[in-house]
Amino acid sequence: MQSNQLSVRNIHLPTLGIGTWAWGDSLFWGYGSNYGEKEVQEAFDAAVTAGATFFDTAEVYGLGGSEKLIGKFLKQTSQPVQIATKYFPLPWRFNEDAVADALTASLDRLGVEQIALYQVHTPFDFFMGQDTLMKALATEVKKGRILTVGVSNYSAIQMQQAYDYLAKYDVPLAVNQVRYSLLTRTIEHNGILDKARELGITILAYSPLDQGLLTGKYTPEKREVTGARKLDPKFSASGLKNIEPVINQLKHLGEKYEKTPAQVALNWLIAQGNVIPIPGAKNAKQAQDNAGAMGWLLRDEDVKQLSILSDK
């Protein structure tokens, strides 16, 4: 058994969270067509019941819709829940007040006075500057409206710069949210993972199942691919053929540990240490399945074998 809690700077988070981009987003995810508020509320409730009590959202998800849904769900639960949201550095947001105003709007949509984590959605800071941005975030920590500061999609150099700017105000950088999975391991080779470990920064891994590739649902013979997946070469017959060894090993380990291939893939991320996967969940079953990656840990030899198979 493994602890379901991870210390992240001055807060404790579950070893797995839930990404909520699909909650309220009709443009990319089709919210309101084959799923809606009922399904995502059931996903929220199932995740909380299973101990995955950390939800990652953003002001741009569904143009505020994701935050509003979470705010509604929070009112209906008595369980402690931790929320992370994100600030998007749009061109007309060029001073500290813009950060405070954006945070106020997010807190209003969420219906709370404080959140666990506030992240910069992208390193675009041409109009404001990194120093001004980090000072504004540090100010919100001092005010108590956010507990920790994070960034998203920052390179190793940008992460170091943000860390240094925040350090001037005695505020640590808690997380860098980046794409990371068994099939997308760029951060292991471009310095991001090494720099995060050096600085004690936790990685929030988005798209940890690579758009469903790591569930084992898609095979070269069964490619019922829809939407943006049709444009992704990984979902082509040849792409799926290339990852068959990884999928087969996930299935094998799933039988060994009595887990699903997806749960094994998520656990591989947890096993990297100081990495929190945040898979999406559109319904209760997906949320329950995600949470099944918590509370246990792959053996070292199994982690190593998966690493070798997938890093080709």
Please give the pLDDT value at position 170: 95
- The pLDDT assigned to 232 comes to 73
Q: Which CATH class is domain 5-211+262-295?
A: alpha beta
d(CA 140, CA 149): 9
What the block records as the tokens of 248 is 């087969």
Give the pLDDT mean for 280-292: 96
Query: For the chain, first and last CA: distance in Å?
Result: 31
pLDDT digits (tens, 9 = 90+) for 227-256: 556 667 777 778 788 889 999 999 999 999
Dihedral sign, CA of 141, 144, 150, 151? negative
pLDDT of residue 226: 58
pTM: 0.93
Determine the length of the chain: 312
289 near 263, Cβ under 8 Å?
A: yes
Q: Which of 31, 35, 61, 206 is catalytic?
A: 61
87 catalytic? Reply is no
Question: What does the pLDDT average to over 80-94?
Answer: 86
Mean pLDDT score, 55-82: 95
Return the pLDDT at 231.
Answer: 61
For 12-63, how does the pLDDT look when each residue is reduced to its tens digit (9 = 90+)? 999 999 999 999 988 888 888 889 999 999 999 999 999 999 999 999 999 9
Say what the pLDDT of residue 29 is.
Answer: 84
Is the pLDDT at 1 greater than 60, yes or no? no
Strands 11-14, 5-8: pairing kind? antiparallel
CB neighbourhood size of 61 (10 A): 26
Q: How many CA atoms lie within 13 A of 80 on its CB side?
A: 6
Which pLDDT belongs to residue 312?
66
Q: Report how far apart, in Å, the C-alpha atoms of 142 and of each of 3, 74, 110, 146 are.
A: 30, 25, 20, 8
Burial 168-196 (b: 16+ CB within 10 A, else e): eeebbbbbbbbebbbbbeebeeeebbebb
Residues 188-218 pLDDT 10s: 999 999 999 999 999 999 999 998 899 988 7
pLDDT at 222 over 70: no
Per-residue pLDDT reduced to its tens digit, 52-67: 999 999 999 999 999 9
CA–centroid distance for 269 within its chain = 12
Q: List pLDDT tens digits, range 105-162.
A: 999 999 999 999 999 998 876 677 888 999 999 999 999 999 999 999 999 999 999 9
Share of the chain above pLDDT 90, in %: 74
Q: What is the pLDDT of residue 207?
A: 95
| 168-195 per-position pLDDT tens digit | 999 999 999 999 999 999 999 999 999 9
